[in-house]
Amino acid sequence: MKKALLLLTFLMITVSGSSAFAFLKASGQQIVDANGTPILLRGYGLGGWLVPEGYMLQTPGYGSPTDIYNKIVDVIGEANAATFYAAYRENYVNRKDIEQIADWGFNSIRMPFHYNLFYDIDSDTFLESGFVLLDSLLDRCADNNMVVILDMHCAPGGQNDSNISDSDGTARLWTEASTYQPITVKIWQEIARRYADDPR
């Protein structure tokens, strides 16, 4: 189970763009397209967009995404924080950014994300707003013949003990596996269900 989760968490590749890429897969030590042609990925990471990280924002003592969110709530309240985050996510990366990244010669975008972008643990429901953001990125990348590599940077419970995975100091994905691993698998299954046949 641990190996399967690591593979899903770190190597899930969703492809957008030309059908020449289709879905990518590993073949030995190479990444190949649907025709078996080796692909050299030249990637650009969208760090800070869907996982605000303290070291990037240079917040004192760094801080996990949850710590950062809670500090914003302390200053402007829950409703205003929700409005702020919606605007932040909507505007952090735009169409011109993706066009520029493609013009620089990159052919892939790594999208680090927090699991709570797609799923609310408390209500056991998927969140359409996260899929809308992913669809927007997929559309923009498809228009520029780029692949999107999904990176669940913050898995349920935290996959390590660091604040960059939004951990509380314990890697509960592993120490409380029976609670958090099924949720992680459920999220990846929903992503796969929605995008397995996506032509982008």
Per-residue pLDDT of the chain (200 residues; tens, 9 = 90+): 554 444 444 444 444 444 445 588 999 999 998 889 999 999 999 999 999 998 898 888 778 999 999 999 999 999 999 999 999 999 999 999 999 999 999 999 999 999 999 999 999 999 999 999 999 999 999 999 999 999 999 999 999 999 999 999 999 999 999 999 999 999 999 999 999 988 88
* pLDDT for the residue numbered 60: 81
Residue 130 lies in a domain: yes
For residues 46-58, one letter each, b for 16 or more C-beta atoms within 10 angstroms of the residue's C-beta and e for the rest, the string is bbebbbbbbeeee
Residue 200 lies in a domain: no
In angstroms, rounded to a whole number, what is the distance separating the alpha carbons of residues 149 and 152? 10
Query: Which CATH number covers residue 89?
Result: 3.20.20.80
Residue 23 lies in a domain: yes
* pLDDT for the residue numbered 1: 53
SS (H, E, C) 111-171: EEEEHHHCEECCCCEECHHHHHHHHHHHHHHHCCCCEEEEEEEECCCCCCCCHHHCCCCCC
Residue 137 lies in a domain: yes
Kind and range of the H or E run holding 25: strand 25-27
Residue 162 lies in a domain: yes
> Which range of residues forms the domain containing residue 43?
2-195
Domain count, the chain: 1
For the entire predicted model, the pTM comes to: 0.86
